[in-house]
Amino acid sequence: MRDVIANTGTTEDYFARGREIAKKIDRGEALEPEFTLTFEDPGDMFAVMSPARLELFRAAKAAPSSITAIAQRLHRDRSTVKKDVDILVAAGLLHIEEVPLPGHGRQKFVRATADRIQLQAVVG
């Protein structure tokens, strides 16, 4: 797994980071795998990274399992957990994997895509 950096920045910051990566490629430097989520507004970052969603991320990282099982462990409503899973999947922080069940059928397991999330926000 890897670390995810969730930060705040402007569109220019985003493209500047891309130009730096392109320069490293042009120089033939090896790139370290990285995953960065950039939000223009700290409020948007904190909306995605709410305390309940961070708890959900930790639960999926500690013991990948079904949405129902995670909801039961967290003592939360399954439909609310499903909505939060969808948001974290869209952000790239969780992954849903279909796992065959013994005998018949399949079950969807929720897994974290990272070991840690580093939150970096500038409010000003």
What CATH number is given to the structural domain containing 24?
A: 1.10.10.10
CB 53 within 8 A of CB 105: no
Query: Mean of the pLDDT values across residues 51-75?
Result: 96
Share of the chain above pLDDT 70, in %: 99
- Which range marks the domain in which residue 56 is found? 2-120
Confidence of residue 112 (pLDDT cuts 50, 70, 90): very high
Q: What is the residue-averaged pLDDT of the chain?
A: 91
Above 90 in pLDDT, residue 57?
yes
Mean pLDDT of 57-67: 95
Determine the pLDDT at residue 7.
87
Q: Tell me the mean pLDDT in the region 27-38.
A: 87
User: Mean of the pLDDT values across residues 22-40?
Assistant: 89
> What does each C-alpha distance from 88 to 36, 37, 47, 62, 108 come to in angstroms?
14, 12, 11, 16, 15
What is residue 50's predicted lDDT score, i.e. its pLDDT?
A: 94
Domain count, the chain: 1
The CA-based diameter of the chain, rounded to the nearest angstrom, is 57
Contacts with 45 (C-beta within 8 Å, 6 or more apart), sequence order: 6, 7, 8, 37, 39, 119, 121
The bridge status of strand 2-8 relative to strand 114-120 is parallel
Separation between Cα atoms, residue 39 and residue 45, nearest integer Å: 6
Query: Residue 50 and residue 64: Cα distance in Å, rounded?
Result: 20
The pLDDT of residue 1 is above 70: no
